[in-house]
Structure 1
Amino acid sequence: MTRRHDIDALRVIAFALLILYHLAMAYVDGWGFHLKSTHTTPDLQWPMRLLNGWRMSLLFLISGVAIALLGPRLAAGRFALLRTWRLLLPLVFGMFVVVPIQPYCEAVTNGHASPGFGAFLLRYWQVRPWPEGSFAGGPFGITWNHLWYLAYLWSYSMVLALLKPLLDSAPVRRATARFAGAPGLRLLFVPAGILLLWLAWLAPAHPPTNTFVNDTYQHAKYLTVFLLGYLLGREPAFWQRAVALRWTSLAAVGAAVCWYALLEALGVWLPADSALRRWPPAFWGMQSKFCETLYVWGVLLTVLGWAKRYLDRPFRWLPYCTEAVYPWYILHQSLLIAALFWLKPLHLGPVLEPLLVLIATVAGCLLLHEYLIRRVRWIRPLFGLKAANGDISRRHAAVTNARA
């Protein structure tokens, strides 16, 4: 199998954006987060709305593509076992060891816990419900916070393992190949139409929760893009079309954003007696939903096309960053919230404080990954890495052979 460097690079970029997004969550006004700075601003809302529409969908799409690129050599049963080990072990470890600093900071700030992390941790490990308002997930007794992605990805991987014989069958492969080479508008609008169906039908009654249960809309959306990644990612014709359509899909993204912004502006500025206000609200609501789903799929198609065109090359930094992505993902939000918790009382201002929080988060991820996680064999699987470090093993073998 030829290594797809663009997919590795996209994963690195997507998780880097996730760190910046979570940093901004502490500073955007009007949006809830586990811990908020005193220096919030509404100016971050629009950039974050633009990013929030597709950031997680991109991660699930990339995951589906990465599995597809493994090819048929991985049997469904072995695939399910490997995914369970690589996703659930870091999830459980993270919930009990990495994440607890987040609910501690949140509970102390909310006045539901006394300072002293050790005492909090002993109480947290009992997995008993906490008083309402203690921290996100408190009624469950434990929380996974940003690690919810691992639970969702594991469940979709198990669905894929069950469907793999069907999805790998000749009729499905032929149908997927025909669609992958379809005209540009079909490749753009059909997936957007499926996402529109979920948004219009499921989202009103099932808003996002990230709690796995009662999260019907998000499951429908993320499972759809995950399976699309698996089905389309293995078709050479899809990648040719994505590259060829990258300007068209980018134009569709721009049009969707402009029309959505215009709809919002009309809702604010139209006079009460305007004839346009007599149109049914459902008419305007469906247009907004169409813009939203066209924007999401348009961004995904655009990103894949431009990445295939310019990122499918062996960058020197890519192997190291590809390995570092998983540990950094597990660590980053706990380090971020802990840094903000300790820096917030110092009143450092709206520039220095977020800069120091970002530096502390990146430095913590770098140091823990480089000098602990990747070098200790039994710790590596707890952060989603293979037990043997290929780079270190090769260096050790080279030294041994040289001495011999």
Structure 2
Amino acid sequence: MENNSRRRYDIDALRVIAFGLLILYHLGMAYVAEWSWHVKSANQSETLQLIMLAVNQWRMPLLFLISGAATHFLFNKLGSTGFLLRRLKQLLIPLLFGILVIVPPQAYYEALSNGVIEPGYLSFLWRYFSFQPWPANSFAGSHVGFTWNHLWYLPYLLCYTLVIIPVAHYLRNKQSLLKHWISGIKSWHLVLLPLLPLTLYGLFLFPHFGGINYAVVGDWYTHAQFFTFFFIGYLLVSSQAPWQLLTRLRIFLLFAAPACFGLFLLFTRTIEENSFPGQSLINLIIIYTNRWLWLLLVLAWGNHYLNRPFSWLPYATEAVYPWYILHQTITVTAIFKLRSLSLGPIVEPLLVLAITIVGCLAIHELLIRRIPLLRLLFGLKPLVSKGAAGKNPVPQGS
């Protein structure tokens, strides 16, 4: 396996962009028509639904793919023990802190919106920390008594972290064979081969387990899909060969991905079910082809434009994890407080977005990055001396 000494700035930048997109997506969930969310605004948009649909097919696969790429670099740098300890520290501590401190306001405002509780956050917390089941539909996760809401990504990533360690050991022992295989990859391999396992998951796992349940346990279709993207990311950055292919494919992908999304809309929104034989299989193939082509498009153009040392990248690379942990609580709180003011469909979401950005920026800049305990709780590395500050860190929290 190639030990790439050159830093992959595009992977860092795509991670920042992917989490930024996640923040915008969660904001959109409050305003998109017909889709449920924790707290909804009175201003609903059907047009927004199309934009959200275009993104939600590949946004989480992109995050897990990037996480797999970051895992490759981190594992090769730290070894299995160091890698495991780093990941446990980066994932478990922020997850537990998030469940106990960051996420409860979301559950509180959701329960208020659903008319399950009376106002009073301290009373809510007293009941919340009993970890007993709540009345049905009080808030997401109320049936088990607590929730991790948007932090579900962390326990899923932790599972894949544990699984990848023996796999990474095996691949390191077979590095010459792996390098030979990846170096010989063709364009059609890159475009078509990942579609086979994804389609099989859709055929055999989805009918039994359904879509994501956010609970980790019993979520086998989701695990199969997300771990596949995670593992693909791990493999892709082990060689330059796939990226050379992506460079040549980037113009093709610029047209193929939107065209495939058009087919996706045709099959899911226009053509009636059971209109012709084999329709369900064709529909499945289109769904996963659309998902994979958009991922390839993002990777290809990201590598083309972003693989350079931007001045903003080191700061953003560190900031993105605390922003991810904080953002949804700020967004939910802002929507709940502002929606009664009837600010309209333009002013309200812009103001919520501004509050979310300013809130994340202020808390991170003024508190988290300066206080050692908060750095630990938000998954950041300890403060370093000025002499060591110029060293490039491995992407954190990916």
TM-score, with normalisation over the residues of structure 1? 0.91
> What is the match of residue 323 of structure 1?
318
Q: Which of the numbers 166, 181, 185 marks the counterpart of 1:182? A: 185
Deviations 1:266-297 (A, max 9, x none): 525x9xxxxx93x23xx111111111111111
> What is the match of residue 401 of structure 1?
none
1:384 matched to 2:379? The reply is: yes
Q: Which of the numbers 28, 31, 37 marks the counterpart of 2:32? A: 28
Q: Is the 8 A contact 2:171 2:178 kept in 1?
A: no
Q: CA deviation at 1:389?
A: 4.8
> What is the match of residue 362 of structure 1?
357
Letter in 2 for 1:311: L
Letter in 2 for 1:336: T
Q: Tell me: CA distance 1:390–1:374, structure 2 relative to 1, closer, same or farther (3 Å).
A: farther
Q: Tell me: CA distance 1:391–1:181, structure 2 relative to 1, closer, same or farther (3 Å).
A: farther
> What is the match of residue 395 of structure 2?
none
Residues of 2 paired with 1:21 and 1:86: CA distance? 24
Q: CA deviation at 1:315?
A: 0.7
Q: Tell me: CA distance 1:71–1:214, structure 2 relative to 1, closer, same or farther (3 Å).
A: closer
Letter in 1 for 2:200: L
Task: Provide the secondary structure at the position in 2 that maps to 1:234.
Answer: coil
Q: Tell me: CA distance 1:258–1:142, structure 2 relative to 1, closer, same or farther (3 Å).
A: same
1:162 matched to 2:166? The reply is: yes
Q: CA deviation at 1:394?
A: 5.0
Residues of 1 paired with 2:388 and 2:177: CA distance? 42
Q: Is the 8 A contact 2:9 2:308 kept in 1?
A: yes
Kindly, what percent of the aligned residue pairs are identical?
45
Letter in 2 for 1:29: A
Q: Tell me: CA distance 1:265–1:296, structure 2 relative to 1, closer, same or farther (3 Å).
A: closer
Q: Is the 8 A contact 1:167 1:173 kept in 2?
A: no
Deviations 1:187-227 (A, max 9, x none): 10001222111122211221221111121111000000101
Q: How does 1:56-67 map to 2 (within 5 A)?
A: 56-67=60-71
Residues of 2 paired with 1:289 and 1:221: CA distance? 14
Q: Is the 8 A contact 1:77 1:161 kept in 2?
A: no
Structure 1 stretches lacking a partner, 5+ long = 271-275, 396-404
Q: How does 1:12-91 map to 2 (within 5 A)?
A: 12-70=16-74, 72-91=76-95
> What is the match of residue 400 of structure 1?
none
> What is the match of residue 194 of structure 1?
197
Deviations 1:73-105 (A, max 9, x none): 422122111111110100000010000000000
Residues of 2 paired with 1:196 and 1:119: CA distance? 48
Letter in 2 for 1:108: L
1:291 matched to 2:279? The reply is: no
Q: How does 1:1-400 map to 2 (within 5 A)?
A: 1-70=5-74, 72-170=76-174, 174-175=177-178, 177-179=180-182, 181-207=184-210, 208-264=212-268, 266-267=270-271, 277=275, 279-280=276-277, 283-389=278-384, 394=389
Deviations 1:244-281 (A, max 9, x none): 2222233331332222233346525x9xxxxx93x23x
Q: CA deviation at 1:240?
A: 1.4
Between stretches 187-196 and 99-108, larger displacement belongs to 187-196
Structure number, greater radius of gyration: 1
CA RMSD of aligned residues (A): 1.9
Q: CA deviation at 1:180?
A: 5.0
Structure 2 stretches lacking a partner, 5+ long = 391-398
Q: Relative contact order (alpha carbons < 8 A, sep ≥ 6): 1 or 2 greater?
A: 2
Letter in 1 for 2:320: V
Between stretches 176-185 and 300-309, larger displacement belongs to 176-185
Q: Is the 8 A contact 1:180 1:187 kept in 2?
A: no
Q: CA deviation at 1:163?
A: 2.0
Q: Is the 8 A contact 2:182 2:239 kept in 1?
A: no
What is the aligned residue count?
385
Q: CA deviation at 1:390?
A: 5.8
